[in-house]
Structure 1
Amino acid sequence: MPEPTYQADVVVVGAGVAGLSAARRLTSAGVSTVVLEAAHEVGGRTATEKVDGFRLDRVGRLLSTASAELHVTPGLEDLVLRPFAPGVLLHSDGRHHRAGVQPGTRRARGARSARGALHAVRALASAPLPGPRRPAAVPGRQVSVPRHRGGAPLGTALDQARLGAALNRLAGTSVERLLARPETTAAEALHGRGLPARTVDGFLRPLLAALLCDPELTTSSRSADLALRDFASGRLCLPEGGAEALPQLLARSLPAGTVHTGVRVTSVSTTSVTTAEHGEFRCAAVLVATGARDAAELLPGLRVPDFHPVTVVHHTTDEPPGTDASLLLDADRGGPVAHTAVVSAVDPSRAPAGRTLVTSTVLGPATADTDTAVRTHLARLYGVPTARWETLAVRHTADAVPAMRPPHDLHRPVRLLAGLYVCGDHRDSGAVAGALRSADRAATALLTDLGVARPMHTADPLPTAKAA
């Protein structure tokens, strides 16, 4: 451990993806940086637990191959994304129905389109969108909504065609146009899209609940539109090896000795941080990159949002259910599980050879009978007995995802004072991509104040989304 009189240009408090990404930017610019983390490992909520050879994500947010930040953030060049089967699998009336995106694109092209989207959002249009327009063709990208007898839960053939056109149109809409739309809640916005209630309730509501971790869809419609755009433009995916792959890659990209775990920061100023174990660290600037509650303890007056709690239940079985690598949603919402998947089929590295890992997400707190209720629900969703499945872990995170209710600012300030900065998902979109964007904004502000030129090949931030 460094001595109490250790000096650095910048001290970063927190070794989650935001703090590590910001540190990567700073060290690449030649700024001496120390990262202090209270836990004994990096990652924060982006953590993966090892149990009997299984890799179990604590929160397990869904990612998209269309997310620009996963392709352009320095330090994540070796990140491997494991996509789910195209679209999603919906369970309704005892049957499975596939719906959603069939992009047919490779990761390389997705990365190029993601970079293009970042460059397109340098300024937010102030005028509202014009009236509805005809669906535009999107070269190289098709949205397919297969037809099933009875149409449930997608409605009639005409309803399915409307849904496909709406997703294609969304995939081809620029981010700036989405952010210029009037803002309301995601739930209210869904009913103004010209789609039948059956399609909205059976497909879009459960899909958005899974993407936003918000069962009531109180999230800003602009954030919901961005999530749906990523869904329509790419493939839902998981990082190979577990969610911890992101912070571990970022940590390994830093100079040796940059990150120090097991160090609890008790106070901060513009020129120093004080720790419980090692006294004072003197520096030229401090970046607080913890979760919102911890940040508010160090920075009195900082706004703390509400949070969406998430409970993740991991099971293993020797008889895998036959849903391949699909994300399975309950269109009927007949139990506690919001979404579930045989994640070992998506990413084989998450389970020992010959074993199956089924991960299910409950959008809410855990109770004494959560595992029993989840098993009962999974038996109906997968159509197989689950009584003999082994429970590996039930993990509840109360502050899993910051709430993004309207009006929601996707560009919350990261510079509090010259010398004191803050970043994290609570300063942006509440997602992994938002944490990375806020880190880039904070590092840019810090480098500007230190008089250091901005390095090349970094993600540009989203513009401020003003309330309607």
Structure 2
Amino acid sequence: MTDEEDVVVIGGGVAGLVAARALRLAGRSVRVLEAADAVGGRMRTLRTGGFLVDTGAEQVPERGYPATWGLLGRLGVDRTAVPRIGRHLAVWRGGRARAGLAHPLGLLTGAGLGPRARLDLPRVLRVRPDFDHPERSALGTVAEFAGAFHPDVLAYLCQPVVSGFFGWSPERSAAAPLLALLAAAGPAGTWRTYRDGMDTFARALAESLDVTTGARVDGVVSEAGSVRVLLGDREIRARRVVLAVPAPVARSLHANAPDHDAGFLAASTFTPVVKVHLMLSARPASRSYAVLVPAAEDRVVSTLILDHVKHHGRAPAGRGLVTVMANPAAATDLLDATDDEVVDVLSGAAERFLPGLRAATTGALVTRFRHALPEATPRALALRAAFAARPVTAVEYAGDWTGLVPCSEAAVRSGQRAAARLLSATPARREHA
């Protein structure tokens, strides 16, 4: 008998749980270690006082996510558990929210774009990089790509989208992953949200798995024939390990990563995100469930999510829930601020867009992600093909950063891909009586 684990998956977000499930179904013994006190990662939901607070991802498209929907079906999560949001996205310009972003309506209303910029919109949307291989499209940074069009395309479309959804700077992040995701996701009017919180998917995945929460891994060391997983004064030996954590964390944990991993790991930088979730005594009315705020309009707030508009069950009857996300420049400054400072800065800045917000606030939660989303720089994009073709070793990786498209569908595909790579190289271990 041996106490050696077959596979240890480090990270209980969607990517890690998908990999663990695929390996378990293939007959492997799998143990998942999650540092937080619950699964979900960037799709975690906090529950307090009747409020469902989505700390990370906010929606899931009903098209362009075949791996997600296929897996949800196999888990028994049908579409009634993932209802349509049915409301618009809007862009703030000239003192008001202008609806129609990522929707055909935007071709008529402009959704914040002036008449001349609207003529460029079809040309922007015709560019459709390969979702699984964004590195094959040489489009430069978001700012470089948008520079070929009317200035409004950058200021009132690309910048608010990449900063408001991903925390990106358009001067640093590549255009191809953005356009691949927009093409896959389709019109915002078809986007959905999990009725019982965005962690529904992670919770369903974890039900049949051996998951240990509160397990903070200190290091991973590859050795001949096994991998040592270090947890304080404890140690686990595994035949294989899946690092399903952000690239900077994977880089710090994997002490002796091979050279063919190290370059891409170093290039796969992440952006931080800071949010405040405001619990309100009343429900602000809005035709839009989210308002993106361009940097040209405000340097503190990038996004306002009216969660009670996104889905009525996010807040108790008659109450409201609004999430305010910091502009990327402000997020860097707020990462190490106190919760009270974050609440004061973000709620104060949001008052301009939702008057009376502070007076209606009865409670607040602050969420911070130091490593929120893959930055998808041109440098990382240039190295991705070689990373994808690397030989299989004892330590595999999973996460949307491995594909450089920041979304849950990319996380699902990465988990499936990591499991398939390990299974292709590792025969099942025989069980001894």
Q: With the length of structure 2 as denominator, give the TM-score of the two structures.
A: 0.80
Change (3 A) 1:238 1:415: farther
Find the residue that maps to 1:224 and give its secondary structure. helix
Deviation at 1:39, TM superposition (A): 3.2
Measure, in 2, the Cα distance between the counterparts of 1:170 and 1:100. 17
Q: Deviations over 1:24-74 (max 9, x none)?
A: 111112222222233332223432222222122333355433342321336
Decide which of 56, 59, 62 is 1:59's aligned counterpart.
56
Match of 2:279 in 1: 316
| Structure 2 counterpart of 1:422, one-letter code | Y
Find the residue that maps to 1:386 and give its secondary structure. helix
Match of 1:107 in 2: none
Q: State yes or no: 1:352 paired with 2:316.
A: yes
Deviation at 1:440, TM superposition (A): 1.5
Change (3 A) 1:161 1:99: farther
Deviation at 1:179, TM superposition (A): 5.3
Q: State yes or no: 1:100 paired with 2:101.
A: yes
Q: State yes or no: 1:13 paired with 2:14.
A: no
Alignment check: 8 A CA contact 2:305 2:323 kept: yes
Change (3 A) 1:418 1:147: closer
Match of 2:246 in 1: 291
Measure, in 1, the Cα distance between the counterparts of 2:49 and 2:60. 26
Q: State yes or no: 1:191 paired with 2:147.
A: yes
Match of 1:78 in 2: 77
Find the residue that maps to 1:407 and give its secondary structure. helix
Measure, in 2, the Cα distance between the counterparts of 1:337 and 1:422. 33
Measure, in 1, the Cα distance between the counterparts of 2:127 and 2:353. 29
Measure, in 2, the Cα distance between the counterparts of 1:243 and 1:329. 20
Deviation at 1:224, TM superposition (A): 1.5
Alignment check: 8 A CA contact 1:307 1:402 kept: yes
Deviation at 1:298, TM superposition (A): 3.1
Measure, in 2, the Cα distance between the counterparts of 1:279 and 1:177. 40
Measure, in 1, the Cα distance between the counterparts of 2:131 and 2:237. 41
Measure, in 1, the Cα distance between the counterparts of 2:389 and 2:48. 37
* 1:440-451 to 2 correspondences below 5 Å: 440-451=416-427
Change (3 A) 1:203 1:44: closer
Please provide the CA RMSD for this pair.
Answer: 3.1
Match of 1:422 in 2: 397
| Structure 2 counterpart of 1:423, one-letter code | A
Deviation at 1:322, TM superposition (A): 1.7
Measure, in 1, the Cα distance between the counterparts of 2:169 and 2:351. 21
Change (3 A) 1:308 1:354: same
Q: Deviations over 1:381-409 (max 9, x none)?
A: 23445334234212222211222110333
Q: Deviations over 1:326-371 (max 9, x none)?
A: 2111244324111112112212332222211111111313246432
Measure, in 2, the Cα distance between the counterparts of 1:398 and 1:406. 21
Match of 2:292 in 1: 329
Alignment check: 8 A CA contact 2:195 2:311 kept: yes
| Structure 2 counterpart of 1:202, one-letter code | Y
Change (3 A) 1:414 1:39: farther
Change (3 A) 1:447 1:239: same
Identity of aligned residues (%): 24
Change (3 A) 1:47 1:176: closer
Find the residue that maps to 2:126 and give its secondary structure. helix
Q: State yes or no: 1:144 paired with 2:101.
A: no
* 1:206-225 to 2 correspondences below 5 Å: 206-225=160-179
Decide which of 422, 433, 438 is 2:409's aligned counterpart.
433
Change (3 A) 1:217 1:248: farther
Alignment check: 8 A CA contact 1:155 1:199 kept: no
Find the residue that maps to 2:380 and give its secondary structure. coil
Measure, in 2, the Cα distance between the counterparts of 1:236 and 1:215. 25
Q: Deviations over 1:8-28 (max 9, x none)?
A: 432222222111100111111
Measure, in 1, the Cα distance between the counterparts of 2:102 and 2:232. 51
Measure, in 2, the Cα distance between the counterparts of 1:20 and 1:174. 25
Measure, in 2, the Cα distance between the counterparts of 1:28 and 1:224. 33
| Structure 2 counterpart of 1:78, one-letter code | V
Deviation at 1:272, TM superposition (A): 4.2
Report the more deviating stretch, 392-401 or 366-375: 366-375
Q: Deviations over 1:161-192 (max 9, x none)?
A: 542x3365357x76589754323111111122
Change (3 A) 1:360 1:215: farther
Change (3 A) 1:100 1:283: same
Alignment check: 8 A CA contact 1:415 1:442 kept: no
Counting helix residues as a fraction of each chain, which structure ranks higher?
A: 2
Change (3 A) 1:76 1:167: farther
Alignment check: 8 A CA contact 1:18 1:424 kept: yes
Decide which of 88, 112, 125 is 1:153's aligned counterpart.
112
Decide which of 155, 158, 161 is 1:201's aligned counterpart.
155
Match of 2:212 in 1: 260
Find the residue that maps to 2:371 and give its secondary structure. strand
Deviation at 1:261, TM superposition (A): 2.6
Match of 1:36 in 2: 33
Count of residues paired in the alignment:
399
Q: Deviations over 1:231-273 (max 9, x none)?
A: 4455444333333222212102x25xx2223334444435243
Decide which of 286, 304, 310 is 1:340's aligned counterpart.
304
Find the residue that maps to 1:296 and give its secondary structure. helix
